[in-house]
Amino acid sequence: MPSVFHKLKYGLLITVLTLNMLALIVVLSVHVWTYTEAGKVPPKTAVLLHAVHHNLVTSDMKPPKFFVQSGSPTFTREELAIPVSDGSEIEARMYRPIQGEKHPVILYYHGGAFMKGYGDINTHDNIVRTLAARTKSIVIAVGYRVAPEHPFPAAIEDSYDALVWAYDHAEEFGGDPSKIAVVGDSAGGNLATVVSLMARDRKGPEVAAQALLYPLTTFQDVEFDSRGVYDSGYYLLSRNVMMRARDSYTPDENTWALPYTSPLEAEHLYKMPPALVITAEFDPLRDEGEAYAKRLAEHGVAVRALRYNGVMHGFISFYEVMYRGNHGLNQTATFLNQVFHESPQYEPYHLHVYDGVEQSNHFREEAEAYAIGSFLLGRQALSMIPFTQ
């Protein structure tokens, strides 16, 4: 009859073998996920793409606590209603530093394909909130109206009206009207730079800087390589969505070449504000974003163009769990902080490419990828277990 010691030893052996087997499954699964239809991606990118495409994450899901830094709040949050030129109002949200006054003002235009159901001030609240903290600025998230109910030019007029409102009321809420910047991602990146064009053309408020995160810059049928290679939707933006957005937002084909829909097609871009243009390797909008940065530089605009390899469209939204996303958000905050204090010097166009994670953070990034992978496999396994009432 086996002793208790032998039973414990046998049980421990089975436990160790089981854990090793589970670890091997996680490692192999993540390894397989890194091989995507258009090339190999880093483990962290792979697990996030896998999670999105298997409906294992939702828009309101919070990151695990060990990914989130805690601390005392340094700003307040306020819901706003901004009047626009057609007599109606749009919603907005303002984050304002608790201490000090005469803060720079940032208007943030969210992404979402210009269409209802794809993005709003809530889906991008994490970016807006963190941008306020990292720049110590007043950040206003603009809830511009979207298609199909409100096609072009509603979104650009709302966005411009929000700029004018922020300029006119800046001193009332502790802002500095001489330091106003615009930031946007994807469709919002288009709006941010279009608002800059409108301010220039209409002799409106001076925009100190524009930060464009993987922006859409043309509605024209330009054969960019990135549009063909990464347009399936696996990298979080599909050709079908882009076509639907164009048909909904700009149903009149004659508007596709206008500078206020397609700033890449603008006759000239002189006297535009200094720009940061961030693009992602696995993104159908990559090439047009970089082409726009180059055109800005060709027209004398100080531009920093930065491509992140190994990531997909919208990667900065995952900054809480993705190192490259956090790095991109830091670069955005650094750029804005610098421009608010001194004008950047013009340099000929050069695309800076960020290839990977610093060595000091590489192990953590890999470990987190496998931790998330383990979590996702667990969720998938649970979803396959039938539950009875």
Catalytic positions, written as ranges: 186, 283, 313
Please spell the DSSP secondary structure of 167-232, one letter per residue.
Answer: HHHGGGGTEEEEEEEEEEETHHHHHHHHHHHHHHHTT-SPP-EEEEES-----S----HHHHHS-B
End-to-end CA distance of the chain: 43
Report the alpha-carbon angle 78-184-283, nearest 5: 135
In the sheet that holds 303-312, the strands lie side by side as 75-83, 89-97, 138-143, 103-109, 175-185, 209-213, 275-282, 303-312, 351-354
Instruction: Pull the structure tokens for residue 356.
Output: 């990977």
Q: Letter for the amino acid at 239?
A: R
Rounded to whole angstroms, the Cα distance separating 218 from 60 reads: 31
Distance of CA 229 to the CA centre of its chain: 20
Alpha helices (H) along the chain? 4-33, 43-53, 125-135, 154-169, 187-201, 225-229, 239-249, 286-298, 323-341, 359-383
* DSSP code, position 265: G
- Give the whole-angstrom CA distance, residue 258 versus residue 267: 10
| Under 8 Å between Cβ of 115 and 245 | yes
